Amino acid sequence: MMTLDSKIPPGPLETKWDRRRFTEKLVSPGNKRRLNIIVVGTGLAGASAASTLGQLGYQVKCFCAQDSPRRAHSIAAQGGINAAKNYQDDGDSVARLFYDTLKGGDFRSREANVYRLAQVSTQIIDQCVALGVPFAREYGGQLANRSFGGVQVARTFYCRGQTGQQLLLGAYSALCWQIERGQVTMHPRTEMLDLIVIDGHARGIVVRDLVTGQMTAHMAQAVVLATGGYGNVYYRSTNAGGCNVTATYRAWKQGAAFANPCFTQIHPTAIPPADTHQAKLTLMSESLRNDGRLWVPIAPADRRFPEEIPLSERDYFLERRYPRFGNLVPRDVASRAVKAMCDEGRGVGPGGHGVYLDFADVIERQGLEVVRERYGNLFEMYQRITSEDAYRVPMRIYPAPHYTMGGLWVDYNLMSTIPGLFVIGEANFADHGANRLGASSLMQGLADGYFILPYTMGHYLASAPPSSLAEEQRASCAAVERVTGRVATLLRGNGRRTAASFHLEVGKILWDHCGMARSRTGLTGALEAIPALREEFWRDVAVPGSGEAFNQELEYAGRVADFLEFAELLCHDALHREESCGAHFREEYQTTDGEPQRDDDRFAHVAAWEYRRNDSPVLHKEPLVFEFVQPTTRNYQ
């Protein structure tokens, strides 16, 4: 029987983390040398964790599927990273960052976790500066800030539109140092395909060498998953092509609870797709909403060019509906508003899938050069993709799946329901509740990796029971066999359809029924359609080549196979949550003017799902207790 013990320390919010760090057991330096830790994934969370654990003296084995750890998808984050530094003296504080994040998540996250995140946020900036991250600076040499969606202070630190890249390269450089010192052994082009559990403890993983196809078991005293989110389950998303759910999904099947999978963030400002097969959608940074104004024509199906539509016939819908926050409302609110406009037939561009994001006012007010300096690279990117010049005509944007707040359930120590299995970064569910605020994912990834996991893991290692060599031998052989059999099955398909065609189809089912708006009817239909599609996949998929060689199509088909199972879990969770909160919008639960209706009496809980072989997943609830903050209606009007 699965139990969910959040292990949140009692007592005042402000000192919970300090007290936890004091009461945790430590591992002596001499013993650290003898302990092996596996870290899977080298994004912000994985690279910062692997380097810090290596620095502490543990023997770390680090794995990534890319050819280099520097290519993890954190690299693509554009906008920035939040921290409660209050350098602008505009009223920011740890408490305010905590409150904004908790409220932004629509009160579906733990107070204690979010408060700790806000506390360590300031250390992250200092650490990154020490690593040489070239943050934007003012003329006087101080760190510069900008504001981001959903908040009223400027607390976002940035490196042009490439903040994720610079933070990741900082963490990667720290990782390089530890590799050079021999503390971390790096295994690039290696994909985790299963988790090895012995006597209820995570003790290793099975990986496939993507160049030779060889399957190997690696054993350790603890396993850390930093494998990112599952946004690619929608096929079309802003995620990199390689992002997938496989590692966390396999851990789920080995007994780790999966929490809140239906909390998937649809980002409002991506470039609309040009073609039905296009999977990759390019994000236009949220920072554009600082100066760009969203509008659609007032009249439906207005096919005039934007410059021909006079001001009186335009609807600046975010400013109209949310006068207090205007274009800076949080992502979920903006995405839903965009969808509502398009559903009313007022969308623009091909298929009516788009709204304008217009910079004419700021160009007139502050000049072309200012706009060019702020957003030049984004405008350039936009022009390359659409062949349109956003300095002259408004951009067209449309929402796209971007980030997943759901993930493996973890306690306050970032440990999953399998002892010894830690989950950090986007792969866990912890800190963003039902909606993540802009510039918070980089903060969370680095908080987990640099400052939280390295402390909490010691306590587990100091108290974990050893496992016998014979047991390890048996369990690792069984796991390798399991994975090898699965690969062989994938290669035996009839070859009638490509894996991509199945991915596209399951993605469409989810986008239509478990995307920006969900309903009981739609979800029930999806839950019937997905198993049938999955069956067809295993029968008809075409995977050429062999398993004992470099085979990208085999890698991809394996990931699609997991998406086809995981999609069902996503729908189960969305169906169970009979309320609208954050990114999860159930059509049955809305006010007369279309605002979401949260139900704190019935749904102020984390939904943690347990895997059952040949049966529906079982729901466990972790109640969310708000001791310090009174959940309010999230009102951006």
Partner 1 sequence: MKLTLKIWRQQGPHDAGRLVTYETDEVSPDMSFLEMLDGVNQRLILKGEEPVAFEHDCGEGICGSCSLVINGVPHGPERGIATCQLYMRRFSGGDMITIEPWRARAFPIVKDLVVDRSALDRLMQAGGYISVNTGGAVDGNVLLIGKEQAETAMDAASCIGCGACVAACKNASATLFVAAKIAHLSTVPQGKPERARRVAAMMEAMDREGFGVCGNQYECEAVCPKRISTRFIAMLNREYFRAGLVEASSSGEPDPLQAESY
State which of positions 313-342 bind partner 1 (CB under 8 A): none
Specify whether the CB–CB gap between 186 and 405 falls below 8 A. Answer: no
Terminal CA-CA length for the chain: 45
Sketch the per residue contact string, 443 through 482, with partner 1: x for CB under 8 A, - otherwise: -------xx--x----------------------------
State which of positions 108-137 bind partner 1 (CB under 8 A): 123, 125-132, 134-137
Specify whether the CB–CB gap between 104 and 435 falls below 8 A. Answer: yes
What minimum distance in Å lies between the beta carbon of 435 and partner 1?
A: 24
State which of positions 485-514 bind partner 1 (CB under 8 A): 495-498, 500-501
Tokens of 601: 């009496």
State which of positions 343-402 bind partner 1 (CB under 8 A): 381, 384-385, 387
What minimum distance in Å lies between the beta carbon of 137 and partner 1?
A: 4
Contact stretch for partner 1 (CB under 8 A) within 97-105, 308-316, 406-414, 542-550: 542-550
- Rounded Cα distance between 312 and 563, Å, is 46
Size of the site for partner 1 (CB under 8 A): 82
- Rounded Cα distance between 263 and 6, Å, is 20
Bridge partners (DSSP) of residue 400 are: 267
Among 13, 47, 151, 186, indicate the residue that binds partner 1 (CB under 8 A): 186
State which of positions 41-80 bind partner 1 (CB under 8 A): 48, 51-52, 55, 66-71, 73, 75-76
> Based on CB atoms, which residue is closest to partner 1, 127 or 260?
127
State which of positions 548-607 bind partner 1 (CB under 8 A): 549-550, 552-553
What minimum distance in Å lies between the beta carbon of 397 and partner 1?
A: 15
What minimum distance in Å lies between the beta carbon of 61 and partner 1?
A: 16
Tokens of 349: 């561009």
- Rounded Cα distance between 327 and 294, Å, is 7
CA distances from 290 to 106, 374, 555 (A): 22, 11, 40
Among 38, 179, 215, 357, indicate the residue that binds partner 1 (CB under 8 A): 179
Among 16, 20, 32, 85, indicate the residue that binds partner 1 (CB under 8 A): 85
Contact stretch for partner 1 (CB under 8 A) within 95-103, 270-278, 324-332, 437-445: 270-278
DSSP string, 322-339: -TTTGGGS-HHHHHHHHH
Report phi then psi at 42, rounded to 5: -130, 30
Segment holding 219, helix H or strand E: strand 215-219
Alpha-carbon 319 to chain mean position: 28
What minimum distance in Å lies between the beta carbon of 24 and partner 1?
A: 15
> Based on CB atoms, which residue is closest to partner 1, 179 or 516?
179
142 binds partner 1 (CB under 8 A): yes
DSSP conformation class of 369: H
Cβ–Cβ contacts within 10 Å for residue 502, how many? 23
Burial class (CB in 10 A: 0-12, 13-18, 19+), 424: buried
> Based on CB atoms, which residue is closest to partner 1, 56 or 196?
56
| Residue that the structure tokens 């623009």 belong to | 348
Cβ–Cβ contacts within 10 Å for residue 463, how many? 11
182 binds partner 1 (CB under 8 A): no
What minimum distance in Å lies between the beta carbon of 176 and partner 1?
A: 4
Among 95, 143, 393, 478, indicate the residue that binds partner 1 (CB under 8 A): 143
Nearest one of 133, 39, 12 to 83, comparing CA atoms: 133
Sketch the per residue contact string, 230 through 269, with partner 1: x for CB under 8 A, - otherwise: ----------xxx---------------------------
Among 86, 113, 227, 282, indicate the residue that binds partner 1 (CB under 8 A): 282
